[in-house]
Amino acid sequence: MKNLLVMTTALVAMSTSVFAEDSTSRVAMTGGVGIEVTQQADDDFGAKTKLELGVKVDGAASASIDLLSTDEGALTIDGWSLGMDSGMASFSIGDQGDIFPGAGLEVVGDNTLADPTDNDSVRVATGDLSLQFGFTDMTDDVSDLSNVQIGYAMTSGDVSINPVLDYNMDTKDTVFGLDTGYSLGDMALGGVFTYDDDIAYEASVAMNDITAFTNGDENDAFQNIGIGWKKDVNGMTLFAEGAYNIDTKDTTPALGLSFSF
């Protein structure tokens, strides 16, 4: 924990020094405290606490580190990135997630969609086009790529379409994803589709802090249904949600609250 705090302090100090002459640069500290209550395998309800701390420098260059402590344990590095933005294109390297679409609420949902490999990566974005190269193990061999993703974000009026392709360098498998959305007044319709070994989907409708969804795949079109409520109250985020598996008759409830700064 001591070493991670030293790293964070050093990042802030270094970033402040490097970007001191850039009036558009800004050093921002972010953090959050949250708790999630979910049903366990033994049917008891357990609470998971989460503590987050981040540092980010905005400007032509950027750097960030996210520290995470779960269940009051030791701090670990949950994500990091180094990047540059030329105005025409942006470049970043780090543990920064991926560009493949996902769905679901805070806890429930997003359980039928394909989920490709997510490792340390290099990402290049220009306009609506994004390209990401994932590493098998960047600390061991920077030439050993695990997967490549390419995505394009399109918006026309109230409609958004984001197709993404993932190619795994080891298995030679190609996975397709499509994230769509449509705004109809106060109502938002969403749909995520993926194709790996089969076609899977999750469709949702949201209105007045309430989101309902259903998901499945080509072999079982309606596997899960669910509903969730989420609202910000004076800086505090509250949520309550649940899902029902139509096949197993299992119910998955979840409650949570968090505060971020």
| pLDDT, mean of residues 245-254 | 94
| pLDDT, mean of residues 62-85 | 81
What is the predicted pLDDT for the residue at 74? 74
What is the predicted pLDDT for the residue at 8? 45
Higher pLDDT, 51 or 145: 145
Query: Is 55's pLDDT higher than 50?
Result: yes
- pTM of the predicted protein model: 0.82
Higher pLDDT, 236 or 52: 236
CA distance 102 to 86: 29
Cβ atoms of residues 20 and 5 within 8 Å: no
Query: Is 102's pLDDT higher than 70?
Result: yes
Read off the tokens for 82. 């180094």
Query: Is 151's pLDDT higher than 50?
Result: yes
CA distance 27 to 166: 34
- Which of left, alpha, beta for 246 (phi over 0: left; psi -120 to 50: alpha)? alpha
What is the predicted pLDDT for the residue at 21? 45
What is the predicted pLDDT for the residue at 26? 72
Q: How many residues does the chain have?
A: 261
Query: Is 110's pLDDT higher than 90?
Result: yes
Q: Is the dihedral of CA 54, 149, 137, 144 positive or negative?
A: negative
Least confident of 49-53, 93-97, 191-195, 232-236: 49-53
- Alpha-carbon distances, residue 32 vs 26, 94, 168, 186, 202 (angstroms): 20, 21, 34, 29, 29
What is the predicted pLDDT for the residue at 200? 98
What is the predicted pLDDT for the residue at 24? 55
Q: Specify the 3-state DSSP secondary structure of 15.
A: helix
